[in-house]
Amino acid sequence: MSLVLADASPSEAVVDGADLLPFQREITKELLARDGFCVLAEGLGASAVIAALVAVDDALSKTHVLGEPPMVTLIVGASEHAKVSVKERMTALFPRAAPPLEFTADYAGDKRKKFYDAGCVAFVTTRIASVDLLSGRLDAKRVRGIIVCSAHRTNETSGEGFVVRLFREGNRKGYVRAISDRPGDLTRGFNSVERCLKALMLTRVHLWPRFHLRVKDDLDARPPEVIELRQPMSENVLKIQEAIVSVMDSCMAELKKSRYIDTSDLTLESGLFKSFDLILQRQLDKVWHIAPRRVKQIVYDLKTLRLLADALLKYDSVTFLKYLQALRASESRESMWMFTEASHAIFEYAKKRVYLLKRKAAAAQPKGLGAKRPLPPQITETDLIPILEPMPKWTLMEEILDEIDEERRQGGELLAVADSETVQGATLIVCKEEHVARQLEYCIRYGTPALMNAHWVDYLFSRGGKNVAAQVTKRQTGWRGAGRGGGRGSGRGGGRGAAQKPQRVYSKLERIQARMEGREIDEDPGPAKDGKSDENKLLAAAAAEAKKTLVAAKKAEDADKKMKATKAAKELDIKIEMKAEEDAAASDDEVIVVGDTRTRSTVKRDTDNMYVYAHERKLNLLNRIQPSFVVMYDPDASFIRELEVYQATRPDVPVKVYFLVYDTSLEEQKYLSSIKRESAAFENLIRTKQHMAVPAEQEGWTDSENPLPLSLPSSTARHRIEESQEASTRKGGRSLTIRSSLEVIVDMREFMSALPCVLHSAGFKVRPTTLEVGDYILSPDMCVERKAIPDLIQSFASGRLIAQVEAMCKHYKTPILLIEFDGSKAFALHAEADLPRFVGQQHLITKICMLITRFRKLRLIWSRSMHMTAEIFAELKRLEPEPSLETAQRIGVPDADGDVHKLVKDNLNDAAVDLLRRLPGITDGNYRRVIARVESIEKMCDLREDELADILGDARQAKTLHTFLHAPFPKEFMF
């Protein structure tokens, strides 16, 4: 069955006229010819393919037939980086096409409807798209098609799957084109590809790996010139890496003994990736409440060690030491890896990379006749020697930049001799993360020694130099204070007027904060007895010296600025203050900012033609700056492919790439493993495609006038609704037929969750609106406030839940609090081992009990998952009337007179009820009896004690209330 969505000529003309690579053009035409799910290798230009699809729809919108309504194209699932990249690619490849719009929460519904009526191509969130399709603001028949970005995240309960299902219910002739560049995510779990295709209502999958013959021919025709430089690591870094690997091996060996985790993929190679943490967490989620604490802690420790291995080759030596000290302060008692022998080596060698403590020996004993046996040397002084070991790649990168500058100079001379108009491009330095890019900028501009010195000064200040110096001074003076008249006392008492400083006891929070900051707290003000205090004294002295240097430099600089500004003011007749501000703004480029420390330095290199780029931004920077030299500081397979695509599109402009990698390091192993994992993922997808059995009715598109019904997800709630179509019963002497279509009014904010999607797939008619009270309205009298466990904890902490429950109890007869758990996790609030022996008032269980006691009208429902919630809603609505959308919208909203609409027609005076419940003798168990039998508070005051006892059912409470109402008021308080 062929699927032709538009005329071939206009579509092919748009695609053929763009500067796309041949394989990108073939991918685009393949998606235009047939709906499908396209999986590309990361870095092959998914944004260019999406831009081509958008340009085709834009051209079709401009050539639509008169009399037909304008069509709308929706792009869902795109991240912020993908939106920017697609718009840039459209500007470069399709300058005549209009870039797609972007609908966010800032666009009101009426404003979006105007764009829909005029026809457009727009990025929309799944929440906006689903709400507009359900509310009728956007007619599904006017949607030309949907482009799904990052389609590997699509499943039956995802927002993308919900939008596709709503679209297919009203339009079977539009297209659905899905694109993803994450093949590894499609191989995790069972039948991941089949589940994605089923949710997208597609039957075809197109695979484009790097080893595809068409891709290989296009990219290998003119590859960039690559120079691979392998940088050896220092001895200390090698020792730290060996210790980290040793600890990870020990943790994995312990984890393999557990019966709660599948140990088939439990290898050191897999432990280097973030997905390893997710796999372990997913396996433990369902048994988290019964898993031993030791197993949980090992999982946390493996994550910490993975981050530590990454930090070793990303952070400089000083920052890495600070990171280690922060870990010691926050995890020293809980973690298990810190108690291993290898962990001590990590801390020891990390400190050696920053500074050393050198001890001096006393002078040698005299020798000669009559000399006694020499005594062992006495340690008299210790020196702090800063080592400040830089990152090995920094020196190599500076050498590369010097080589590039020399090559530029020689190239410029040759171009000048040849009288060529060719312009040399910029130099691009690429790393993975933003903080590394900031460090590289400082390193290139000011040099490695200046940057390391700035980090060292910040480390000294972070160790609490001021506080430690004060403690050292007090210890040296023996806590002596000043005597009368400012003289210093002496002797045991410290002199006249001197007072002994009392010993301070620090709290646990203060101790943790001091340890995280690197400060040492000693409750004993006596003299130091160990080498640790000597080290703190030396660090404090170094911090004080660094501070003096910074202050002196700042004063000299301010004086110089003032002198220059004064001279300029006399010559040019301008204000001194304005000139000083301009000089200060101009000199900001000579400041290295590390933490809270600003260190002045001298510019060593001109960086006008250099760009430092963090690849995590996902910007299309290559096409923007068009570099001639690229320095890859961090190895990244996706950016290497981006370089190959960039060189293939510009074969006449050579690009020289310097590829930097640490020799025999975890960085190199992780890079090679990532390439191997991607190739294995594509091989797995190819085998899956060969043996995959997809039913034909799963295809959402059809050109038939009487199409078969869509294959909707199976659901227990849907089965119950279908079974109840012919059910009937007798009630009140009349026949009552149970409905086959159930309506639920859903608050707009709830579309951030997946429950509206589950309700729709279960057969409910979901009607979105803005509700002031509750999240779901099941009937005119039934309101539901849904809380997931994290939201429940946060609502209790902020007090928001109390106000929400109070509003539901005030406006509805049956208020319900639904506590919903994650279906993939354990159905338990807490693990049994985590429960305290005595539950306090701040515990979650205590708060829930107090909430139920406070609001007797409230009903509490526990749900294991969203699918179970759908079943509960179906049972609750079995005999209930359908809710009114107009009425639900007015609940809790004041009208023009200030009155609030209420569904509970109790004719009660709320102020009088609140006053009644505060009276002595009135409790939550008897105040309803008073309301039912007494007309007003005035009538209650006229009742006798025995009549009150008959109403309340307790003579003691009646006596308390009667005494309070009839007790005389003291006359002395009347004036």
pLDDT tens for each residue of 647-669: 999 888 889 999 999 998 989 98
Q: How confident is the model at residue 916 (pLDDT cuts 50, 70, 90)?
A: confident
What interhelical angle do 293-314 and 235-255 show, nearest 10?
Answer: 160
pLDDT value of position 700: 75
Give residue for tokens 């338990």: 828
Which tokens belong to 355? 């500074």
Q: What is the CATH number of domain 235-361+381-386?
A: 1.20.1320
Distance of alpha carbon 377 from its chain centroid, rounded?
Answer: 58
Query: Per residue in 63-90, pLDDT tens?
Result: 766 678 889 999 999 999 899 999 999 9
Amino acid letter, residue 629: F
Range with the largest mean pLDDT of 97-111, 420-434, 719-733: 97-111
Q: What is the CATH number of domain 910-973?
A: 1.10.150.20
Q: How confident is the model at residue 827 (pLDDT cuts 50, 70, 90)?
A: confident
Query: At 428, phi and psi to the nearest 5?
Result: -115, 125
Distance of alpha carbon 651 from its chain centroid, rounded?
Answer: 39
pLDDT value of position 473: 38
pLDDT (mean) for 565-572: 53
Q: Is the pLDDT of residue 529 over 50?
A: no
pLDDT (mean) for 332-359: 86
pTM confidence score: 0.79
pLDDT value of position 112: 92
pLDDT (mean) for 613-636: 87
Number of H helices, E strands in the chain: 36, 24
Q: Write out the residue limits of the CATH 1.20.1320 domain(s) in the chain.
A: 235-361+381-386
Distance from C-alpha of 167 to C-alpha of 783, rounded to nearest angstrom? 29
pLDDT (mean) for 922-947: 86
pLDDT (mean) for 220-232: 91
DSSP 8-state secondary structure symbol assigned to residue 18: S
- Fold classified for 741-829+840-890: Rossmann fold (3.40.50)
- Give which of 74, 93, 70, 83 is closest to 14, Cα–Cα: 93
CB 472 within 8 A of CB 540: yes
What top-level class would CATH report for the domain 10-221? Answer: alpha beta
CB 807 within 8 A of CB 857: no
Please indicate whether residue 592 or residue 796 has the higher confidence score (pLDDT): 796
pLDDT value of position 385: 85
- Give which of 69, 61, 37 is closest to 147, Cα–Cα: 37
pLDDT value of position 523: 46
Distance from C-alpha of 688 to C-alpha of 678, rounded to nearest angstrom? 15
Could you tell me what percentage of the chain is helix, strand and coil, using 3-state DSSP and rounding each to the nearest 5? 50, 15, 35
Helices (H), 491-530: 508-517
Please indicate whether residue 413 or residue 758 has the higher confidence score (pLDDT): 758
- Bridge partners of 482, per DSSP, are 488
Q: Is the pLDDT of residue 805 over 80?
A: yes
- Bridge partners of 769, per DSSP, are 747
Query: Per residue in 716-735, pLDDT tens?
Result: 666 666 665 544 444 444 44
Amino acid letter, residue 381: E
pLDDT value of position 464: 57
Please indicate whether residue 353 or residue 906 has the higher confidence score (pLDDT): 353
Burial of 104 (0-12, 13-18, 19+ CB in 10 A): exposed
Q: Is the pLDDT of residue 400 over 90?
A: yes
SS3 sequence of 830-892: CCHHHCCCCCCCCCHHHHHHHHHHHCCCCEEEEECCHHHHHHHHHHHCCCCCCCCHHHHHHEC
**Domain over 392-445+591-663 is classified CATH 3.40.50.2300:** no
Query: Per residue in 1-35, pLDDT tens?
Result: 344 444 446 778 888 888 899 999 999 999 999 89
Q: Please, what is the end-to-end C-alpha distance for the chain in angstroms?
A: 96
pLDDT value of position 330: 82
Distance from C-alpha of 596 to C-alpha of 477, rounded to nearest angstrom? 31
pLDDT value of position 278: 75
Q: What is the dihedral of CA 839, 841, 843, 848, to 10 degrees?
A: 110
pLDDT value of position 595: 75
Task: Please give the share of the chain, as a percent, with pLDDT higher than 70.
Answer: 76
Distance from C-alpha of 860 to C-alpha of 848, rounded to nearest angstrom? 10
pLDDT value of position 488: 40
pLDDT value of position 969: 72
Distance from C-alpha of 243 to C-alpha of 344, rounded to nearest angstrom? 9
Q: Is the pLDDT of residue 432 over 80?
A: yes
* Arithmetic mean of pLDDT over the chain: 80
Give residue for tokens 């979105």: 768
Distance from C-alpha of 619 to C-alpha of 614, rounded to nearest angstrom? 9
When mean pLDDT is compared across 224-228, 328-332, 358-362, 414-418, the lowest value belongs to: 414-418
Amino acid letter, residue 949: A
- Angstrom distances, CA of residue 24 to CA of 15, 27, 648: 10, 5, 12
CB 240 within 8 A of CB 312: yes
Q: Is the pLDDT of residue 494 over 90?
A: no
Amino acid letter, residue 943: L
Distance from C-alpha of 793 to C-alpha of 221, rounded to nearest angstrom? 59
Q: Is the pLDDT of residue 794 over 60?
A: yes
pLDDT value of position 407: 87
3-state class (DSSP) for residue 461: helix
Q: Is the pLDDT of residue 43 over 50?
A: yes
pLDDT value of position 468: 41
When mean pLDDT is compared across 62-76, 203-217, 586-600, the lowest value belongs to: 586-600
Q: Write out the residue limits of the CATH 3.40.50.300 domain(s) in the chain.
A: 10-221, 392-445+591-663
Query: Per residue in 287-302, pLDDT tens?
Result: 777 788 888 888 888 8
Distance from C-alpha of 28 to C-alpha of 177, rounded to nearest angstrom? 10
Please indicate whether residue 771 or residue 411 has the higher confidence score (pLDDT): 771
Distance from C-alpha of 818 to C-alpha of 775, rounded to nearest angstrom? 10
Return all residues near 31 (Cβ < 8 A) that are at least 6 apart: 38, 49, 53, 177, 179, 206
pLDDT value of position 394: 93
Please indicate whether residue 465 or residue 472 has the higher confidence score (pLDDT): 465
- Angstrom distances, CA of residue 843 to CA of 829, 847, 860: 11, 6, 18
